[in-house]
Structure 1
Amino acid sequence: MKGESRQSWDAFSYASCARFVSELGMPVVELLAPKAGERILDVGCGDGFLAQRMQLAGCEVVGIDTSRELVAAARARGVDARVMNAEAMTFGPEFDAVFSNAALHWMRRQDRVIDGAWRAVKPGGRFVVECGGKGNIDGILNGLKKAFARRGLEPDVVPSPWHFADVPEMRQRLEARGFVVQEIALFGRPTPLPAGVEGWLSVFAHDFLASFDAENRKDFLDDVTEYCRPALMKPDGSWVADYVRLRFSAIKPVTADD
């Protein structure tokens, strides 16, 4: 993947069109099993929805995100949120757990994120993540490719802002750093899109939309929507995306050196 992502985040649009991202993250919070008094680092905290719930459970949570607007929204929830690139975390071993939901696939240099998590978590601490996995949103990506091709453009004219790993790749990355993988799984999770494919693209796919002016962008969105319709629209008119999630829990051994 080349170049820098042009993705930006609007807190209102995220809350209105993408709240399902955080709400569907509760199972990975259950896998984390946060305990009162624990200090937890939430990597890619977004608007702080899950961090706030961990705080309500008695945890001390620090959230990081690259979006200033989402960090501001998280702070408004009472979260200690900081603008920080997860690929350049500088924390020492001060956390009982490092947690992340729906964020790691946005990070191109995932080894750096894993290195940062290793340094941030105490020996014996855990690293618990759910993110997009191999095969995630293939239906939407196919629609994007067809819409670009219709305009005489190569499908990869815009580098993908995402990297969707499979189980062997992620296990290798974690174990190479020294983590002991306790659980890791790739699974399908069909996900309703309350704002349809167009709403999803408007929130998550800025890289693909940035090349078009307002008029041509609407035409492009209409085309992608039509190409996605056979695979993703249900008979009742609702939209369901073909999400695939990668979820893991790993431990930093008590004997580990930092």
Structure 2
Amino acid sequence: MENNTTNNFSNVSFNQWDVELYESKHSFVSNLAIDLLELLNPQIGEKILDLGCGTGHLTYKITTRGAKVIGIDNAPSMIEEAHRCYPDIKFVVGDGVKIELKETFDAVFSNAALHWIKEPKKVIHNIWRVLKPGGRFVTEFGGKGNIETIISGIYEALDAAGYSSNKQLNPWYFPTVGEYATLLESEGFLLTFARLLERPNKLEDGEYGLRNWIKMFASCFFEGIPEKKQNIIIDDIENRLRPNLYKKGKWIADYKRIRIMAFKEGKPNKYF
């Protein structure tokens, strides 16, 4: 087993993801969304946008239902890997805040992506714009309380190390169901399903699971911190979180997910 303690956590930016680490240690991101595809219920001949498609595994699964899918993600490394894995699917580099596609879609699907965008009103407006009348929006992403324990551990370790200002680098948006529902309804969506799901998730790679997770998803907190100091802080985070999140040789991330289904200009009868 490789020990990742010598890695510089600040080397990973959030528009150039470490694809190898993502695919090898964090496949649960797409694997946990299989039942979300059932909520989407893709139909033969539909045109669907996968917003925040990552490496395209869920995009591909949607196409197996007979739908035509375009995947969009703001990370060039993810799109490059998606092209490599699924050359027959259209993937484009793009941002949910400014979707530049001219097409309109029967549905917009998004898994584990929208909590990375702190301008939800712009995203929702763009989703509304690219949907056909009666089109549906199906999404799941981090909700209120998501990774709350992990964030607390990171904040406490940064404070102890003298880097309190780095807490301002928190990249996530975790709304309540009510907050997000209000934004959707303000845009004109008809909300038909909304739920906050408790989703404790075992991280891969045993003892190094949390360290790999931080490298993959939370490296921004270490911006400007020398590499040796980074690893000391990571050790501190592990020590603080171990009593609550390390069970039987596995780290457990305290995930909470919002799952949403909403329709533009009402819900079509064919789905219900």
Of the candidates 217, 220, 224, which is equivalent to residue 204 of structure 1? 217
Matched residues, percent identical? 38
- Find the residue that maps to 1:46 and give its secondary structure: coil
Query: Which residue of the partner structure matches residue 262 of structure 2?
Result: 250
The answer on whether the counterparts of 2:195 and 2:260 sit within 8 Å (CA) in structure 1 is yes
Query: Which residue of the partner structure matches residue 182 of structure 1?
Result: 192
Structure 1 83/218 Cα, relative in aligned 2: closer, same or farther at 3 Å? same
Of the candidates 195, 202, 205, which is equivalent to residue 192 of structure 1? 202
Counterpart CA distance in 1 for 2:227 and 2:67 is 44
2:29 equivalent to 1:21: yes
Matched AA of 1:88: K
1:96 CA displacement: 0.6
1:36 CA displacement: 1.8
2:87 equivalent to 1:87: no
Counterpart CA distance in 1 for 2:213 and 2:168 is 18
1:131-210 equivalences in 2 (<5 Å):
131-154=141-164, 157-195=167-205, 196-210=209-223
1:3-82 equivalences in 2 (<5 Å):
6-7=13-14, 8-78=16-86, 79-82=89-92
Counterpart CA distance in 1 for 2:35 and 2:236 is 35
Matched AA of 1:41: L
Q: Unpaired segments of 5 or more residues in structure 1?
A: none
| 1:118-156 superposed Cα distances (whole Å, 9 cap, x missing partner) | 011100110000000000001110110111111133276
Query: Which residue of the partner structure matches residue 238 of structure 1?
Result: 250
Matched AA of 1:242: D
**Root mean square deviation, CA, Å:** 1.7
- Find the residue that maps to 2:168 and give its secondary structure: coil
Query: Which residue of the partner structure matches residue 229 of structure 1?
Result: 242
Structure 1 145/155 Cα, relative in aligned 2: closer, same or farther at 3 Å? farther
The answer on whether the counterparts of 2:49 and 2:107 sit within 8 Å (CA) in structure 1 is yes
- Find the residue that maps to 1:125 and give its secondary structure: strand
Structure 1 254/91 Cα, relative in aligned 2: closer, same or farther at 3 Å? farther
Query: Which residue of the partner structure matches residue 7 of structure 2?
Result: none
1:212 CA displacement: 2.2
- Find the residue that maps to 1:198 and give its secondary structure: helix
1:231 CA displacement: 1.2
Of the candidates 114, 119, 134, which is equivalent to residue 129 of structure 2? 119
2:114 equivalent to 1:104: yes
1:108 CA displacement: 0.9
1:160 CA displacement: 1.1
Q: Which moved more, 1:17-26 or 1:84-93?
A: 84-93
| 1:34-65 superposed Cα distances (whole Å, 9 cap, x missing partner) | 11211100000000010011112211110111
1:93 CA displacement: 5.9
The answer on whether the counterparts of 1:137 and 1:241 sit within 8 Å (CA) in structure 2 is yes
The answer on whether the counterparts of 2:19 and 2:77 sit within 8 Å (CA) in structure 1 is yes
